[in-house]
Amino acid sequence: MSLNRFIRILPLIVILSGCETTPEQPSSQPDTKANPNIVVKEQNENIEQIAPLSPQELDDVWQRIRAQLTFSNSSHPDVQQRIAWYLSHPNYMDEISRRAEPYLYYIVTEVEKRNLPIELALMPLIESDFDASAYSHKHASGLWQLTPAIAKYFKVKISPWYDGRQDVIDSTRAALDFMEYLYKRFDGDWYHAIAAYNLGEGRVLRAISNNKKQGKPTDFFSLKLPQQTSQYVPKLLAAAQLLKSQKMAFPAIANKDAIAKIAISGSVILDNKAQWQQLEPLNYGVIRFPAIIDAPHLVVPASEQKQFETMIADQDSNDYSQWQHYTVKRGDSLSVIAKRYKVTVSQLKAFNNLKNSTIRIGQKLVLPQLADTQIEHKVKSGESLWKIANHYKVSITKLKQWNSLSSDRLKIGDKLTVFLSAS
């Protein structure tokens, strides 16, 4: 085979065979008399003609991830056991892709912006199964399962009205900030950093120190860690290896923007239930519909960004009839009123679109509290979250969020707080 012909064929062989096989060397020797400049020129021209797409140009965001995976494959039994589990649950990735569809493109883009390993984009799969409303018994919440302490440290807002841990934008920023911190803390060892994300840096550092004292290796698989953490990294590696090898189907997710962010200043009352039902799955951080208070933004479908921007800009149509009202009296101040009604001054100002703290006698204020709508429900025999949610016409997700429930199980006599919009 002549060199020129081989050069034309070789790129095609590489593309068709992927990275798992190496093309055989040609049996014939290259023509030593050929002009090397002409050979290089022809080679470059042929490569340009069939240049592969960049990860960002692929149609499927899962394949965008696959094209950038860098962690080495592992034959460790824990990884192989998890691979076997995934393969024995072939429908698992169908549900994962359905949940991940609104979020994955955004998360991948943010990981790439920071030049972090693309494997980190798979962490919500391990943390929450891509359930943005997930809440654990350790009070971790959201896609990235941030604890209140970590959220506070990385400036994620949590209030009675908004929990940024359940917002894809706020939580992704904080989670990646945390991962960058841990990567430096563990001297560039990503497996240690990922384990520390799950367990806490102190306990992983102690495990490393104990192994050093005993003269043992300090790689992740040699550390003595709680079972949940010892399985955490293998779960991530197993998912990455299956995606890399394409031995399991990852249902395609369009490699394009699915969501958009609309900044909010002050407060918004989105009293159209049909519109909120469309937005709720993207905004689990908004705790008490229809009031959007303390949220720095709303997440909306990218295809309907302009429609929602127009709606939110039109504040005059807000219906304040379902909220408590207060008439300012002599001696009142915003701080006095806020303390009396157990809200913050900033919430009071935001809800009334006040630019400063000046108020006057006789001024009408709207309080960020629904009028006569907070009730307490005592669980009776035979009741379930589904029955209670259906009775009050609220979602199970909100019931769990209002009451910090990490599972669907209830006990007779449990007391649940329910917030209802006034009719």
Active-site residue numbers? 127
**113: which residues sit within 8 A by CB, 6+ positions away?**
none
What length is written for the chain? 423
* Sequence letter at residue 126: I
Max Cα distance, the chain (Å): 101
**223: which residues sit within 8 A by CB, 6+ positions away?**
195, 204, 207, 208, 211, 230
Residue 91 CB-half CA count within 13 A = 0
Structure tokens at 256: 């394009």
Here the contacts of 39-43 (C-beta below 8 Å, separation 24 or greater) are 39/3, 39/4, 39/7, 42/4, 42/7, 42/8, 43/7
Region at 362 (left for phi over 0; alpha for psi -120 to 50; beta for the rest):
left
Using DSSP bridges, classify how beta strands 364-370 and 268-269 pair: parallel, antiparallel or unpaired: unpaired
Here the contacts of 216-220 (C-beta below 8 Å, separation 24 or greater) are 219/191, 220/189, 220/191, 220/192, 220/195
Enclosing H/E stretch for 301: strand 297-301
CA distances from 106 to 95, 101, 102, 403 (A): 19, 10, 8, 29
CA distances from 380 to 383, 385, 392 (A): 6, 11, 15
